[in-house]
């Protein structure tokens, strides 16, 4: 933990987070035992092809996750990350998560690499929907059609086979190439191109700090591995960082 604090204290640290950071908020991750992909086969519910051929089915996943997200609050891990940003220890947070909990915790410079479940729009006419309408969609059934043009309505999430939003991709690669360290929290690091960001950082000389109770694809490449839950580890790390200020 001291080594991790020393690395972050050198400055220009960027956080990369995954579903594990939201587990303590009651949102299951995807690939751990009991994860979302045990309930919903991603190839049936979360691909671009599934969306084109069976939007009703994909809306089942949107409703299950959207209902979870609306009922969830940031946990200590999100709060610690927001405090690290506020105190200048980290520059930005690139998140693979679509639950909006980093922003809810007070983080400001958040890049949503896989979009988000909050911004809902019509694919045909581009009409957007406010929070009340979006919550209303969660209690209806089947695919949602635009009342103005009849087009398919969906959240701004990136399904498998869809492109990462160009602005998010470009900014994330810029941050990875320019950081001196990357704090990688709660990701199995198996889904590209997000999983390539720590490799991009490392290729430019950055140190990699991993926070995860389990071993991952990234562990053997990490400079420091903090083997534990993010909601327990991150505030301890913040305390050590503050201790370096005196
Ligand atoms: N603290 C830290 N890490 C945790 C915690 C916790 N409390 N609980 C679980 N983890 C770890 C798990 O050990 C696992 O390594 O979080 C990781 C979650 O991995 P995944 O479920 O694969 O989630 P993620 O890496 O975010 O998935 C990436 O894949 O399915 C797509 O689009 C989806 O954004 C997602 C992407």
**CA-wise closest residue to 58 among 158, 136, 126:** 158
What pLDDT band is residue 245 in, cutting at 50, 70 and 90? confident
Tell the residue number behind the tokens 């089942």, with chain if given: 60
Interval 30-41 mean pLDDT: 95
Give the distance (Å) from ligand 1 centre to CA of residue 246.
35
What does pLDDT average to over the chain?
A: 97
Give the distance (Å) from ligand 1 centre to CA of residue 194.
12
Calculate what percentage of the chain has a pLDDT beyond 70. 100
Interval 51-77 mean pLDDT: 96
Predicted pLDDT of residue 88: 98
177 φ, ψ (degrees, to nearest 5)? -75, -25
Interval 192-204 mean pLDDT: 98
The 10s digit of each residue's pLDDT in 226-235 is: 999 999 999 9
The 10s digit of each residue's pLDDT in 201-212 is: 999 999 999 999
Give the distance (Å) from ligand 1 centre to CA of residue 25.
13
Predicted pLDDT of residue 168: 98
Residue 45, ligand 1, Cβ within 6 A: no
Predicted pLDDT of residue 246: 60
Where do runs of H (alpha helix) occur along the chain? 2-8, 36-39, 42-45, 48-53, 55-71, 76-86, 101-104, 131-138, 166-178, 197-203, 230-243
Are residues 77 and 24 in contact, defined by beta-carbon separation less than 8 angstroms? yes
What pLDDT band is residue 55 in, cutting at 50, 70 and 90? very high
Pocket of ligand 1, candidates 187, 211, 214: which has the most ligand atoms within 8 Å of its Cβ, to mutate? Answer: 187
70 is catalytic: no
Predicted pLDDT of residue 244: 84
The 10s digit of each residue's pLDDT in 116-145 is: 999 999 999 999 999 899 999 999 999 999
Interval 53-65 mean pLDDT: 96
Predicted pLDDT of residue 194: 98
Calculate what percentage of the chain has a pLDDT beyond 90. 97
Tell me which of 246 and 22 has the higher pLDDT.
Answer: 22
Residue 187, ligand 1, Cβ within 6 A: yes
Residue 186, ligand 1, Cβ within 6 A: yes
Cα–Cα distance between 99 and 3 in angstroms, integer?
31
- SS3 labels along 173-216: HHHHHHCCEEEEECCCCCCCCHHHHHHHHHHCCCEEEEECCCCC
């Amino acid at each position: 933990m001291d080594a991790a604090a020393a690395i972050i204290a050198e400055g220009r640290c960027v956080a990369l987070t995954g579903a594990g950071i939201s587990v303590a908020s009651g949102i299951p991750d995807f690939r751990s035992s009991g994860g979302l992909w045990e309930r919903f086969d991603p190839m049936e519910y979360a691909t671009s092809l599934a969306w084109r051929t069976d939007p009703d089915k994909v809306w089942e996943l949107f409703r299950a996750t959207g209902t979870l997200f609306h009922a969830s609050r940031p946990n200590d891990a999100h709060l610690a990350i927001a405090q690290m940003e506020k105190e200048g220890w980290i520059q930005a947070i690139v998140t693979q998560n679509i639950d909006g909990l980093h922003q809810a915790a007070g983080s400001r410079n958040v890049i949503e690499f896989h979009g988000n479940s909050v911004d809902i729009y019509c694919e045909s006419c581009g009409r957007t929907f406010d929070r009340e309408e979006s919550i209303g969609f969660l209690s209806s059934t089947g695919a949602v059609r635009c009342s103005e043009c009849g087009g398919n309505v969906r959240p701004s999430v990136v399904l498998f086979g869809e492109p990462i939003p160009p602005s998010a991709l470009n900014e994330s690669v810029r941050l990875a190439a320019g950081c001196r360290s990357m704090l990688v929290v709660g990701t199995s690091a198996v889904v590209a191109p997000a999983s390539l960001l720590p490799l991009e950082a490392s290729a430019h000389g950055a140190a990699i700090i991993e926070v995860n109770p389990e071993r991952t694809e990234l562990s053997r490449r990490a400079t420091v591995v903090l083997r534990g839950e993010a909601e327990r580890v991150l505030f301890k790390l913040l305390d050590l960082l503050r201790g370096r200020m005196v």
